Structure 1
Amino acid sequence: MVDSGRALNTLRSAFVGPFRVAASVRHARVFHPKGLVARGTVEFNSSWWPGRTRIPLTVTARMSGGIGTPSTLPDVLGLALRIDLDEGTTPWDLLLASSGTSSLTRLLPLPATGWNTARYSSLMPLSSTGGPPTWVLAEPVGEHPPTTSINALADALAIAPLVFSLQLATFTNTPTPTGRVVLRDVCELADDDQPSFDPVLNCPPAIALQPEWLAAVRVGAYRGSRRGRGATNG
């Protein structure tokens, strides 16, 4: 019987090469090549989350288009969050993508027509302290740009913060609001200088992505994409 750890390492390694080549040819991230980085705060209102609750934590976010279509066309939109938990610990990278709102469609990356209509999902469920598989969801609150334009995000942030409601949902339960993200300041960074997020490596011990084999695939894909474009930023 094949050792499960060895099988996961083999699966992980299998995805490094193809994503490295794709990123090298594109000279950019394989997916979500163009984005905007902003800083703000996140506040959790449930013990499901790691770290402190009801205390604002620093967050760095990258909002991006999955393919980079013209702003008048739909795209799979991304909301990547790097959350500073307790001091001295590794930040938590939480990656969300536009998806559907049902139990089945929240597993799929789906295009949105604008930042104001996007409904974000972790796509893969997460388990907190060994609990049931749970999806992290995010929904825009208030005014967000009605197109997929990155420039429109910067213009919107120059006027007012961008706010998101964070929600948790199991496969059978309806989403429950359990947090809030507020983005306030744009970080003027070229795409090549923007941080690389890895939700598998930068993950608190209490949180596990499921299923394990798909997490291994994501490790290989992110590693290959970073190597292909020569990224050294974390």
Structure 2
Amino acid sequence: MSAPSPHPVASRAATHAGAALRLAAAALAHLRRARALHPAGRSFAGEVTIWGTAGPPTGVALLDEPGRYPATVRLSKGVPTPGSWPDVLGLAVRVHLDEERPFDLLASSSAAPPALRAVPLPRRRFAGTYTTIMPLHAGGRRVWLAALADPESTDLGRSLADVGAATRADEPRLVLAVASAAGPWRPFGQVSIGTQLSARQDAALAFDPIGNLPAGLSAVGPMAWLRAQTYRGSREARGARVQSGGSLGVTV
């Protein structure tokens, strides 16, 4: 039996609400002359190494099977506050899987405990816990992805300038992990942060955390819809387009 079609009134309401959100995001991007969300940031060439998921597999091949992939990494401030003032910090990792579609992992500064991993939290230091905030679906279960501080890595500091200096001195790392709603974080890989890209390349990057997901991982629900509309409005205002291929080119 097929699923019932959405009610025409509800469908029109969703269409109008989506348009309003896109317009609001576009207006903010025009005002800032930059991204609507996380306008201040630095982008870097990087690499993602997958070790495989410890314990039961997630059902997502990218997380469960060892591999190594080139990546583009962006660290950012959300408001943005000046210098080393506290802010909701952002981490975006584009994993260049193949020529079909990349994987865009977007995470915000948060906390590791189950009750807080869905809450964006301001902090000063760029090394710390970042989570997807929004749950993702894998094998019919809700999961969160995270990037956690690596105690053996070069510190990323408290400002975007510090982040740039850290990458010139070494190749900082963050540990990638997955968790259920109440379970512990299970590390499955790491992201290494390399050479800084130019300001022009950073400005051209456009991520899609809803559309650019690997096979077996999906984003559904009100939060996913809200994010999809907001990011779309911001991209349209900047004249940016989401990269549909896995090319290493960063003009997206």
User: TM-score of the superposition, structure 1-length normalised?
Assistant: 0.89
Partner of 2:113: 102
Partner of 1:168: 178
> SS in structure 1 opposite 2:193?
strand
2:27 corresponds, among 13, 18, 21, to 21
Matched, 1:153 2:153: no
Could you tell me how far 1:224 is from its partner in structure 2?
0.9
**Separation in 1 of the partners of 2:80 and 2:200?**
15
CA contact (8 A) 1:98 1:111 kept: yes
Partner of 1:32: 38
Could you tell me how far 1:80 is from its partner in structure 2?
0.2
Partner of 1:66: 78
Could you tell me how far 1:13 is from its partner in structure 2?
2.8
1:196 corresponds, among 206, 220, 226, to 206
2:99 corresponds, among 84, 88, 98, to 88
**Separation in 1 of the partners of 2:176 and 2:61?**
14
Could you tell me how far 1:197 is from its partner in structure 2?
0.7
> SS in structure 1 opposite 2:67?
coil
Partner of 1:182: 192
Structure 2: tracts of 5 or more residues without a match: 242-250
CA contact (8 A) 1:126 1:134 kept: yes
CA contact (8 A) 2:154 2:172 kept: yes
Matched, 1:53 2:53: no
CA contact (8 A) 1:35 1:191 kept: no
2:122 corresponds, among 94, 105, 111, to 111
Structure 1: tracts of 5 or more residues without a match: none
Query: What do the CA deviations read for 1:152-203 (whole angstroms, capped 9, x no partner)?
Result: 1111101110101111111121111111111122112337633111111222
> SS in structure 1 opposite 2:117?
helix
CA contact (8 A) 2:42 2:202 kept: no
CA contact (8 A) 2:34 2:203 kept: no
Q: Amino acid of the residue matched to residue 107 of structure 2?
A: L
CA contact (8 A) 2:204 2:240 kept: no
Distance 1:192 1:227, change over 3 A: farther
**Separation in 2 of the partners of 1:204 and 1:167?**
16
Q: Amino acid of the residue matched to residue 105 of structure 1?
A: L
- Report % sequence identity: 29
Partner of 2:248: none
2:229 corresponds, among 201, 213, 220, to 220
Q: Amino acid of the residue matched to residue 71 of structure 1?
A: G
Larger radius of gyration: 2
Aligned residue pairs total 229
**Separation in 1 of the partners of 2:201 and 2:25?**
18
Distance 1:224 1:78, change over 3 A: same
